[in-house]
């Protein structure tokens, strides 16, 4: 509210405050706030390419947010899909055979906050002379083997978009570059200083509040809001440009970062509730669970084959809103392992009883759809 009423939406002092807050969390890495994770990946890949211009391949996991694959391509590189393990993160064995003399970099995300084997991936990349992006878009403030996720490899990236750990809005609402290898300090500081403040953030923020935060009250009126957005001329291409983070989004990010630990603790309780519940049903599996582990989203794995849309509409009729996982990208050799993941609700209302009821309803719906009665071997 302070940013809005003082008229400091696009730029202002919050941006520098955010840079300081992030640099403190990720010390000794230096943080540069930008307007999206995609912007951070783009800047990182271009600076890698200046050092090894003949290399064009960038390895991405077979299971990843499609915008990662898109930005690799839009930056002028070839995305190369690499198999993932049970935990939905890069498989170390598959990665070591995927590296070639054309590999510029590896992008290693921590899917839904579940830590990848990033220290081993870092070692592998370093000995092979390949750059590494520690993609912590979905997870902020989690330590893995004594080091903060995001600080492994050459450059780390963060995102503050919807369904990440820190959420400031949608459509370019924020992110950051973390410089972990000081060889990149100078040029990335210059790249980031050259970025201009982002346009249209107040309109995007209202759009976010209306459709995402107040969605249960505003219902379908979001449709009309989309029309208004179009009338204002806010095309997604304008929202996707590389820019600094706005003062407004930076202020929101700071407020959330201040209560990150509380947010993480309440989420871990819900994760434990779902784990205890899912264990009671043979046709539900929680592949990313580990005791005390934080996850940005709770993804249950379902037996294949399953008609996921039929299942989701059955659940919706019972008042349970779910989201499907990503599709697995084709892996060059062999076949990508077909898997089906479903995100379950993890809002304020979820406790032991609610998690059990939701699991029981999903399990029963799978039976009604004649799905296999247990997850394969």
Buried/exposed code over 114-131 (b: 16+ C-beta within 10 A; e: otherwise): bbbbbeebbebbeeeebb
Tokens of 349: 């209302």
DSSP state of 184: G
Complex with ligand PLP: residue 166 or 355, whichever CB lies closer: 166
- When the beta carbons of 109 and 325 are compared against ligand PLP, the nearer one is 109
**Bridge partner list, 178:** 31, 156
Q: 116, 84, 114, 121: which is closest to 99 by C-alpha?
A: 121
- Residues β-bridged to residue 34: 175
CA distances from 153 to 70, 314, 375 (A): 22, 44, 35
* Shortest Å distance, C-beta 164 to ligand PLP: 6
Q: Are 171 and 181 in contact (CB under 8 A)?
A: no
Which residues, in sequence order, are bridge partners of residue 82?
61
Contact call for residues 350 and 270 (beta carbons, < 8 A): yes
Q: Closest approach of Cβ 56 to ligand PLP, in Å?
A: 20
CB 367 to ligand PLP: min, Å:
32
Which residues in this chain contact ligand PLP in the complex, by CB under 6 A?
36-38, 64-65, 67-68, 109, 135, 137-138, 159, 161, 175
Minimum separation from the CB atom of position 296 to ligand PLP (A): 9
Q: Of the two residues 68 and 341, which places its CB atom closer to ligand PLP in the complex?
A: 68
In the block, tokens 């209306």 appear at 210
Query: Of the two residues 65 and 366, which places its CB atom closer to ligand PLP in the complex?
Result: 65
* Min separation Cβ 174 and ligand PLP, Å: 7
Cβ atoms 82, 63 nearer than 8 A:
no
Closest CA relative to residue 348, chosen from 271, 254, 267, 234: 267
Residue 37 or 354: the one with the smaller Cβ distance to ligand PLP is 37
In the complex with ligand PLP, the residue whose CB is nearer, 67 or 337, is 67
Query: Looking at beta carbons, which residue is closest to ligand PLP?
Result: 37
Q: How far is the CB of 71 from ligand PLP (least distance, A)?
A: 7
For residues 36 and 65, is the Cβ–Cβ distance under 8 A? no
Shortest gap between Cβ of 255 and ligand PLP (angstroms)?
Answer: 18
For ligand PLP, the closer of residues 130 and 161 by Cβ is: 161
Spell out the residues 6+ positions from residue 13 whose beta carbon is closer than 8 angstroms to its own.
247
CB contact at 8 A, 89 and 111 = yes
Q: Which residue's CB is nearer to ligand PLP, number 55 or number 110?
A: 110
Give me the count of residues in the chain: 377
Closest distance of CB 360 from ligand PLP, Å: 30
């Amino acid at each position: 509210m302070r940013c809005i009423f003082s008229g400091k939406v696009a730029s202002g002092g919050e941006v520098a405050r955010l840079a300081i807050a992030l640099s403190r969390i990720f010390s000794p890495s230096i943080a540069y706030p930008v307007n999206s994770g995609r912007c951070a990946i783009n800047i990182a890949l271009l600076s890698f390419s200046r050092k090894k211009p003949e290399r064009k391949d960038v390895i991405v996991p077979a299971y990843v947010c499609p915008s990662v694959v898109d930005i690799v391509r839009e930056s002028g590189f070839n995305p190369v899909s690499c198999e993932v393990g049970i935990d939905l993160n890069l498989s170390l064995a598959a990665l070591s055979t995927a590296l070639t003399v054309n590999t510029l970099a590896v992008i290693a995300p921590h899917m839904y906050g579940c830590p990848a084997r990033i220290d081993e991936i870092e070692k592998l990349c370093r000995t092979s002379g390949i750059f590494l992006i520690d993609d912590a878009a979905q997870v902020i403030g989690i330590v893995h083997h004594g080091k903060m996720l995001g600080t492994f490899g050459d450059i780390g990236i963060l995102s503050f978009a919807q369904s990440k750990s820190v959420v400031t809005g949608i459509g370019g609402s924020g992110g950051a570059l973390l410089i972990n290898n000081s060889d990149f300090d100078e040029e990335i500081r210059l790249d980031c200083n050259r970025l201009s403040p982002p346009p249209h953030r107040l309109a995007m923020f209202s759009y976010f509040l209306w459709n995402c935060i107040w969605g249960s009250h505003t219902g379908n009126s979001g449709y009309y809001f989309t029309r208004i957005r179009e009338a204002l001329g806010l095309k997604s291409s304008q929202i996707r440009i590389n820019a600094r983070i706005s003062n407004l989004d930076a202020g929101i990010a700071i407020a959330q970062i201040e209560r990150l630990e509380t947010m993480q603790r309440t989420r871990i309780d819900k994760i434990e509730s779902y784990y205890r519940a899912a264990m009671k049903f043979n046709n539900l599996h929680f592949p990313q669970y580990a005791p005390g582990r934080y996850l940005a989203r709770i993804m249950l794995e379902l037996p294949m084959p399953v008609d996921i849309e039929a299942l989701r509409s059955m659940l919706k009729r019972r008042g349970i809103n779910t989201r499907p996982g990503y599709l697995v990208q084709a892996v060059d050799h062999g076949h990508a392992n077909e898997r089906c993941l479903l995100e379950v609700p993890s809002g304020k209302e979820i406790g032991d009883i609610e998690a059990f009821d939701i699991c029981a309803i999903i399990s029963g719906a799978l039976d009604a759809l004649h799905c296999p009665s247990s997850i394969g071997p």
